[in-house]
Chains A and B, each alone.
Chain A
Amino acid sequence: MVRCFLIHTVCPVSALSAGESRVLYSRVFGPDDGVLSERHRDFSPEERRLLQKERVTAVARQVRSAISLSREASGRLIVETLPGEENLALQDADCGVVRLRAGDPFSEETSALWLGVQSLGFTLVCEPHENLLLAEGTLRNLTRHCLEHLHMLGQGSEVLLKSNRIDVLLSRLLPHGQLLFLNHRFAQSLEKEVAAYMAK
């Protein structure tokens, strides 16, 4: 299962300290981590929500750090692409995976797959036994759709104001965090549904 999907900044943000990342979209699948275990029984719902937000921010921070170190090592220059060149942006994107140890921040060990598209990062946090080949393909597909449907290569803020589109995208391609083995026909069918929703 996928634990969560995030879209976050990997460029410096003036309002934040260096190394911090602004989370633009986050979706955690399933009940709260640790809510069913003994130690979190005493937390109020507000505290649990706060903890979950902090966990998501912790993941974003770690991925941001991984992306900047990876870019520093490879010495590649980040080229801004224009709207309409989503496929090129995706081709140029760097990718990798971060091992998140048990407790940091989820109670069990997880793997955070990331895709760095210019100044933004797209991250999928998976359970350790997950099929990472499938996860990688799914992440690329999700990223492509987000870039296209939310016009993310431009200067707009649709990722913040039209997040319901990402919700629908996830409900088809990653329902409740389930990675799906979709051949091109199944994928087409689902993408048609998503496109129909976006057109409204």
Chain B
Amino acid sequence: MYSHASESLIKQAREIQESELQKFYSRLMKMLQGKELGHDTVDSLQRLHLILSATKYTRTLPLELQKRFVALLSSPAEQHQVLSTAVLRETLPLTGQELNYNQDNLGQLNSHAAGLLLSQAVSKGDLSSLCTQLLRNLESRPSEGPTHSLMHTLPVLNNVLTHSPECLSEDQMTLVSKKLVDWLRYASVMQGVGTSSGGFFTGPRSRQPVPIAELDGSVSGDFFTVLCVGQGFTEDQWMNVYSFSMLRHWLLTYHSSCSTVDAANRLQLSLSVSHSFSNDDRSEVDGSVVSMVSATSSSSRLLPPKERLREKAFQYCQRLIEQSDRKAHKKTDTELQKACLVEAVCILDCVCAEDASLVYRTFPCIKALFGRLSSELSNARVLLPIAQFYLNHGEMAAVDCENVWKVVFGRFPTELFNDPFLAHELLRFLRLNVESIELRVPQYTLYFPNLLKFLAWDSPAMVDDFVDLLPSMVTTGTAVELLHTLLDLPCLSATLVLQHRSTCLPISEPVGRSFVSLDAFRNPSFRGLFLFVLRTEAGSGDTIDRLSTLHELLVEAADWPRVTQCARTVPVLLHIFFNTIVTIADEKLLAHLILVMLERSSLLLNIPAYIKEIHRVFSCHLLRLCKLHPSLVVNQSHELLEFAGSTANVYSKEELYTHVVWVLGEYLSVSCDSRCSVSLITSCFEALEAVLFEITSSAPPTGTVCPAPKVINTLMSALAKLASRSHDLIPRVSLFLSKLRTVTRSGSVAWCSDEEDLVAIVTRGEELWSLLKAPGVAQSVLTPPPHVIAPQWHRDTNVALPLQLRALTSLTHSQ
């Protein structure tokens, strides 16, 4: 698809020499002298466009040439308009009067020129002028003239609104509102004449006028909407389409939900209520066949334009919902019906937010729609705006929303985790409404196992959303289960892959590679394991006993791309989890989390980089938790000692081991927790001493590397700290340190491969040894009390005195 030829074309365009370019410009100037543009000219213009757009640095055209292009903008031939617009878009706008936004003939702008003006606008004034011209054109149109010239008005207007809603004045808003009402509600119900290759023509009609039809072929019984068809379309029917296409944005921009604004507007506009009886208003001409929808609108004529638009929007959406129930003949129309349903529900949500009395008129319809659609999974994306409607207005209408949440949280993630658009929209819905959901849907926090399926399936696309959403899923009640679930996200990912494959591949088909895991997935005796992983709600248990079995079954999943992508996102989610949990957890829960960390450090799916990363995260947060609550160490001393006393952990979990030893040394003291006894300190000392002896007396076991100097140093420091608190232990430390010196003096050792590392270890050992010779000082140096390390400035009497003296001196010696 993308060839060398294209690449070299771009290269040529970028590297064209200035002299050649100037020659090209003059050739073009000659070609553009004639009225018609031949094929050669068109090709040359395209090449010019390529040359200009291929580089991000702007090239300037010669003034004459640029002026010629500006003149071409208003040529009647569309090709001229398109080519000149494309070229002018890539150059700088002229600073002269050529493209003045206040010109009178702006009203005759074609669509392409309007687009160019729009893209070159640099101020709100420019946009306001453009709007004014367009609306003037709208109001007083000549009866002849190309009808297409109206159609780009609404899209351009909508574009302006996106960037600068203040561009329209109150009067202009009123004008547009009235036009929208006319086009939306009172467009012709007869089919237009069939189109030929040009625009519409107003010749005498050769047939009887035929009414418009619905998508299933039946004759339409109500006003025209985007879901009506005909052989050809009249101009106002086209405007109906353009109006509906921008309706939601218009309502969102200008229809605030603040009722005081509405009241003020109503007062202002009551004086101008005569507008609604002007000639332009065709509300007198209603269709003779009226459906339920239009029957309720008899009094709307007396409403101010804004309210009238709201009422008509309401009717239009109700009609669309009715029409979407019909069976369309074409597939594209079925897709359109779904899109219309989404739009209609969103608009109804908008108008109900503005006028609460509409909620009672709307809810029956929305409820019926939910009932009709909720059974089919293919309607999932339509059900999301319905869920939004329930969330916004359900409480007010006192409607039970249970079923809606069961579907959205319970069913969609289970069955549609692999639909990227649904995932995106559902997570966006959660993000935007998280506060409201936390309030009104308390069971939301129990659905994290289900919602995480989106992440497990497509981590790169979803991780961003989960970074925002995860804090809302962290509660004290489910924290432990959530931690286990996060650690096993790669397992979830692997399981979803297996589930997907299982449904796609028939059971009897031989699989190329050996899929031990696929067989295991289908094996009834392992069913329970996978069912737990695929559970939809939390609360049935923090994790399973046979977790190691599950990991063994999934060992081949470690190099599946989906699983490795998922594994890469777990560390960042763990950080967010811990950052959130420290703000809400009590010490008991934090203690439990430490135990989980120690336990799970050896119970992870075997993906090489994954295990190391998780250990790093654990180390970081273990440190943090213990710093915040030092008494945790004494509380969990038993488990921490068990971990620290196992020599195998030095080699397999070096980083985590180092940190466990460090927190033991630092926080196992009476000053942190009064329950810390001498015997506790002694037993800790003995456990660490044993490990230190073991790792410094022999080579590491086969298959592992020598322990890093950091481990050994940390062990030595921890021992020294403990000894400084219980002076009986000092001789034992001194003995070890002197032995260390003797051993290392004889040259290299089996447990340390680098000479510099050995020197560092020995130096540290000597520092500790000399420190312990003065036991009284040792404790303060090794474990300084908090008030020494925290700066206190003027609150510290030792520091304050010089400051005070200096202040007094400067006061008394003011001369």
> Taking beta carbons and an 8 Å cutoff, which residues of A are in contact with B?
1, 9, 11, 13-15, 22, 24, 28-32, 35-36, 45-46, 49-50, 53-54, 57, 65-66, 69-70, 72-73, 75, 80, 95-99, 101, 111, 117-120, 127-129, 131-134, 136-137, 152-153, 155-157, 159-164, 167-168, 171, 175-187, 189, 192-193, 196-197, 200
Contact = CB atoms under 8 A, between A and B. Distances in A.
Given A176-B159, A181-B340, A30 B118 contact: yes
17 contacts: A15-B11, A29-B159, A30-B160, A36-B124, A45-B92, A70-B420, A73-B458, A95-B420, A120-B2, A129-B249, A132-B381, A176-B155, A180-B241, A181-B340, A182-B336, A184-B229, A192-B195
B354 to A, nearest CB: 16
A137 B49 contact: no
B10 to A, nearest CB: 7
Contacts of A185: 229-231, 233
Contact of B152 (A36, A175, A189): A175
Nearest to B225: A181
Q: Looking at A96, A136, A175, which has the most chain B CB atoms within 10 Å of its CB?
A: A175
Nearest to A179: B245
Given A45-B93, A73-B562, A118-B1, A1 B425 contact: no
Contacts of A14: 7
Contacts of A168: 78, 82
Contacts of B381: 132-133
B227 interface: yes
Given A45-B93, A189-B233, A31 B118 contact: yes
A157 B93 CA distance: 29
Contacts of B342: 131, 133-134
Nearest to A57: B56
A31 B2 contact: no
Contacts of A70: 420, 458, 460-461
A69 B121 CA distance: 38
A97 to B, nearest CB: 5
Contacts of A193: 197
Contacts of A15: 7, 11
Nearest to B381: A133
Nearest to A162: B46
A31 B121 contact: yes
B335 interface: yes
Contacts of A196: 197
A3 to B, nearest CB: 9
Contact of B6 (A49, A159, A171, A181): A159
B151 to A, nearest CB: 7
Contacts of B215: 183
Given A36-B123, A157-B6, A164 B83 contact: yes
Interface in B1-51: 1-3, 5-7, 9-11, 43, 46-47, 49-50
Contacts of A162: 46
Nearest to B230: A185
B155 to A, nearest CB: 4
A152 B1 CA distance: 6
A178 B155 contact: yes
Given A31-B127, A181-B343, A183-B333, A176 B197 contact: no
Contacts of B343: 131, 134, 181
B56 A161 contact: no
B188 to A, nearest CB: 15
B9 A161 contact: yes
Given A164-B82, A182-B241, A192-B197, A13 B7 contact: yes
Sort A-B residue pairs by CB-CB distance and give the 5 closest, nearest first: A178-B155, A53-B56, A176-B155, A134-B339, A96-B420
Interface string B222-261: 0000111111110000100110111011001000000000
A176 B152 contact: yes
A153 B2 CA distance: 9
B332 A178 contact: no
Interface string B418-452: 00110011001000000000000000000000000
Contacts of A69: 460-461, 565
A156 B4 CA distance: 10
Contacts of B154: 178
B275 interface: no
Interface string B131-173: 0000000000000000000011011101110111000000000
Given A127-B162, A164-B82, A176-B152, A97 B420 contact: yes
Nearest to A195: B197
A175 to B, nearest CB: 4
A160 B227 contact: no
B425 A30 contact: no
Contacts of B458: 70, 73, 96
Contacts of A187: 332
Interface string B325-344: 00000101101101110110
Nearest to B13: A160
B2 A11 contact: yes
Given A29-B115, A161-B43, A175-B151, 5 more contacts: A1-B249, A28-B119, A99-B424, A161-B50, A171-B82
Contacts of B92: 45-46, 49
Contact of A128 (B6, B338, B339, B428): B428
B464 interface: yes
B485 interface: no
Contacts of B245: 178-181
B115 A176 contact: yes
A53 B56 CA distance: 6
B322 to A, nearest CB: 16
B85 interface: yes
Contact of B46 (A101, A164, A181, A200): A164
B118 A176 contact: yes
A117 B230 contact: no
B715 to A, nearest CB: 43
Contacts of B162: 1, 30, 127
Contact of A22 (B7, B159, B197): B7
B226 A181 contact: yes
Given A99-B465, A176-B158, A178-B155, A183 B561 contact: no
A197 B332 contact: no
A72 B461 contact: no
A161 B46 contact: yes
A183 B227 contact: yes
Contacts of A134: 336, 339, 342-343
Nearest to A165: B82
Given A31-B119, A185-B230, A153 B425 contact: no
B159 A171 contact: no
Given A137-B335, A178-B159, A155 B56 contact: no
A81 to B, nearest CB: 9
B112 interface: yes
A127 B464 CA distance: 17
A47 B299 CA distance: 55
Contacts of B338: 133
Given A11-B2, A119-B2, A175-B151, A186 B233 contact: yes
A157 B9 contact: yes
Nearest to B8: A157
Contact of B339 (A24, A32, A131, A171): A131
